[in-house]
A = this chain, B = another copy of it.
Amino acid sequence: MFSQTSEYALRAAVYLAMRAPNPQTAQQIASECRVPTDYLFKALQPLSRAGLLSAQRGKHGGFSLTRDPSEISILDIIQAVDPIKRIRHCPLGLKEHGIRLCPVHKKLDDALCAIEETFRDSMLSDLIDPTADIVPLCVKPELIPETALHAKPY
């Protein structure tokens, strides 16, 4: 339903949010998020192009979010990587009635619309609430390396 690429991008974004504002290398992200390292670059490229994250080359480089996690939604990530294709015109391409959708496609589009709205209201910060008893990416709090948690930005 949601593409593998969006799943990867979302994991990475959440991971970066957890460590914001410190940049994290592709190696780190890939390893913690269980994403194939080489493919991760592909998944992050659209996020970079959309201006959601910045990439820094060279030693102490890596990826970091360009905004506060409270200002980036799941929808931002999804739309950048693998946009939800709303149904705007009749998929049968009939011109008898152009814009208005028949009940079938209206229903399908309603579902897509609902997903958009749900994801629009879900900020990365909501997903990493430290008071919750489960932290994202299915890693227990005590498994997150102290060094990473308390790292200072360069």
Chain A contacts to B: CB under 8 angstroms:
1-2, 7, 10-11, 14, 33-34, 74, 84-85, 90-94, 96-97, 100-105, 107-108, 110-112, 114-115, 118-119, 122, 126-129, 132, 134-140, 143
Query: Is there contact, CB below 8 Å, between B136 and A102?
Result: yes
A9 to chain B, nearest CB (A): 12
A115 to B91, CA, bound (A): 20
In-complex Cβ contact of A134 among B74, B103, B126, B134 (8 A): B103
- Give the copy number: 2
- Cβ of B140 and Cβ of A128 under 8 Å apart? no
B11 touches A104 (CB 8 A): yes
Q: Known contacts being A7-B91, A94-B139, is A1 close to B102, with CB within 8 Å?
A: no
Known: A1-B85, A112-B1. A96 touches B128 (CB 8 A): no
Shortest distance between the CB of A12 and any CB in chain B (Å): 11
A33 partner residues in chain B, CB cutoff 8 A: 92
Task: Point out the residues of chain B lying under 8 angstroms from A111, CB to CB.
Answer: 114-115, 118-119
Separation in Å of the A91 CB from the closest CB of chain B?
A: 7
A112 to chain B, nearest CB (A): 6
Query: Which of A14, A85, A136 has most chain B Cβ within 10 Å?
Result: A136
Given contact pairs A96-B138, A103-B134, a sample of 13 additional A-B residue pairs in the complex whose CB atoms are under 8 Å apart: A1-B1, A1-B84, A1-B85, A34-B92, A94-B139, A96-B139, A97-B134, A102-B138, A103-B126, A105-B138, A107-B118, A107-B119, A114-B115
